[in-house]
Structure 1
């Protein structure tokens, strides 16, 4: 069936005004942060909207655009009604047949299947299946001997990264890890094919594959598969070194430090954080430097070095206070004041200052946007632990119950282990 020619979106182009596509994309990202959304908007995305390639934005972009232009609807922004662009066969809908959109026609549009998974699924496993991680809906095209790798393949890798992160934010890692292994293998198969159409495409493919390795590594990490996580992070670091990509290298070291701390390898955690800081220096992102410095602080706390921990915390706060910039990496959307408070709470917990840790953990729970369900459950689990160790049993039990209530939606071995440890503390102090 022949595809209809895209119609330029002139209404959206008028809204951009005198701003360049990159400047307008930056404004979209800032607006997203204002309402706690996550969008990976860049000049390419704006160009595709204006060219009419994206006839209706996904739900995250829709919320951001309506926030930016209050009083306007999607039609006023030049978009088509959602039900007209889904490519659904009405006969199939009537028959109740499953709807699986093709990746080549929905690079930046959430499927109805994905929307229903978010609205009705209580498990990450069902959500992952709906996303098609490991299935057709999010398939990364396999390389072919006669086919050079171009924009379609790179976008598929980048989209897989975004979808995994989105599901992790809302559901936690379990049920996602195994499903995410298939797109990771496909991404590295594309790299091994070595037939990108241009150097910029190859660079994006390296970056996308490396970020995908980190995302899958995090799913393993949060699921308690620490050896698997270590392997994935090492794979991402190797990819960064091959591609000469300091942003990817800094990200890989950041997660490696976190993993080493969780595994009790505190010296390694310090070294990885410091290596990440060196890699991040040219990236013009004070927030990234702040996060890496907090990783270092947590490692010093694990070693019991209070002075070094406090010095690192002071540097981290100073860097954080510089504020966000447009060059902050996309993956850092989770790093706001709630995460800053939570990471500091972890430091004081490791140093045995439970009341101080509880104050910071409580601030993290108060400040956290409920959209990030996994992080909110994690912060509450941390707070329950700190309260229990501080002897505040009733408050600890109340926070632990809140976490338990959330575990039908959020699946994380790490959170369950934290709750089990808190229960043991409460049992020994009864």
Structure 2
């Protein structure tokens, strides 16, 4: 029997700018948010376009995916599937409605390999993020689940093991980049941490456990971000944000919003970056330490600097400096220890670079390189590249290329898509000097040092 092509679905996909592969990925992501793993591929989408039928659950996931992409409600009729009844989900269901759903989402996410997910520069739809952030801002804490007589009961030693593992993965991430540890961390979280969250525990143990799980979720997000899968990293950030609602950990929740701001700014979505940074400030108000407040203000300054808002950026920079002057390590959680003076100075150097203020950028970048400890090798590589850019802005091509060469040589072992982009951005910046022998030598060095092993 000949099938009629599904013109309505084709029109929706064209309106959304969605390819078969892109839409298939979105359907899989939606299903994961509901704790379900589906096998939708580009072939599945093509069959639907050719007029094949669809199961009700898949139709619901498809409708939710296109609704989020288009920013408007999509119905069964819009999809072109006659005789299929779906229960529409609200736009913005990335933020899990319950603990069970949140754990299902994390279980699904930890089965995904970043390298298998295409179109990784695409963030979640703004509607999804805004809805999730608003939900977190106004939600009451869930509280720990009641002891259901689980067959396994855990104690603080189990929590200590998770914290120790997280510290090790964080150190690996800072030293060698997200590419070195993401796979192992993903496996550890799925097979070691998720079972603990469903076990039995006391109030004290449960509070510590969910706090540690949210912190590890943040590292999962950062490693996915660092290898270049921004869509997956966004999902992890929202999933970790949902975990902070269980125990009302407003400081970690606000930090996750700041991380989302950092990511949005990196990808050029400056308005979103500024909003998320302000949400971090407001969401953590009265519940965060001065060091955390300094970090949130620095992220806002980064976004405003990228927008060339000199007045706003200066205000945020002054706020960051003022908060940092009151920082007291004794009151900070362990996960915030990395935000030291060198990190703050490095943030300032990025801001002055983006504001096209070479003298200040050069001064702060030199300070950041001098103060950053070797254990933060990736950060040091970033700071060296900003220093190179600052030398170039200051008109010193020789110093710029020499500094960038050092950064590439010292950063060869860092598996970080972000570092590679710092290098490529610098190459574009100095491209008007392509005839300069030092620039030619640098480009040759980059081709060898940062070559993809698969291309050799």
Q: TM-score range by the shorter chain?
A: 0.5 to 0.7
1:129-168 aligned within 5 A: 146-168=151-173
1:245 positional shift = 1.3
Residue 212 of structure 2 is matched in structure 1 by 208
Instruction: Give the C-alpha shift of residue 296 in structure 1.
Output: 0.7
Alpha-carbon offset, residue 248 of structure 1: 1.8
8 Å contact from structure 2 (residues 262, 273) kept in 1: yes
Q: State the distance in 1 between where 2:192 and 2:313 align.
A: 39
CA distance in 1, matches of 2:224, 2:430: 29
Q: Which residue of 1 aligns with 2:349?
A: 345
Question: Which shows bigger deviation, 230-239 or 402-411?
Answer: 402-411
Which residue pairs with 2:195 in the alignment? Answer: 190
Q: How far is the alpha carbon of 1:313 from its aligned partner? A: 0.6
The separation in 1 between residues aligned to 2:361 and 2:312, in whole angstroms, is 17
Deviation per residue, 1:169-203 (Å, 9 max, x gap)? 2222212112211122235523552x332011111
**What is the aligned partner in structure 1 of residue 433 from structure 2?**
429
1:6-405 alignment to 2 at 5 Å?
146-186=151-191, 189-190=194-195, 193=198, 195-283=199-287, 285-405=289-409
Q: CA deviation at 1:260?
A: 1.4
When Rg is computed on C-alpha atoms for both structures, the one with the higher figure is 2
Uncovered stretches (5+) of structure 1, i.e. residues with no partner: 1-143
* Structure 2 residue matching 1:404: 3-state secondary structure: helix
- Taking structure 1 as reference, are residues 425 and 302 closer, same or farther at Cα in structure 2, changes over 3 Å only? closer
The answer to whether the 8 Å contact 1:148/1:196 transfers is yes
Tell me, which stretches of 5 or more residues in structure 2 are unaligned?
Answer: 1-148, 435-456
Indicate if the aligned counterparts of 1:385 and 1:418 stay in contact, CA closer than 8 A: no
Structure 1 Cα separation of the partners of residues 347 and 372 of structure 2: 13
SS in 2 for 1:346: helix
Distance 1:239 1:199 in 2: 16
Deviation at residue 145 of structure 1 after TM alignment: 5.8
Shift of 1:427: 2.6
Alpha-carbon distance in structure 1 between the residues aligned to 2:280 and 2:345: 21
Contact kept, 8 Å, 1:283 with 1:327, in 2: the verdict is: no
Q: CA RMSD in A?
A: 1.9
Report the CA distance shift for 1:279/1:196 in structure 2 as closer, same or farther (over 3 A): farther
Q: What TM-score, normalized by structure 2, do the two folds share?
A: 0.59
Please list every run of at least 4 consecutive aligned residues from structure 1 whose deviation after the TM superposition is greater than 6 angstroms.
Answer: none
Q: What SS does the aligned partner of 1:417 have? A: helix
CA deviation after TM superposition for structure 1 residue 210, in Å:
0.7
Partner of 1:92 in structure 2? none
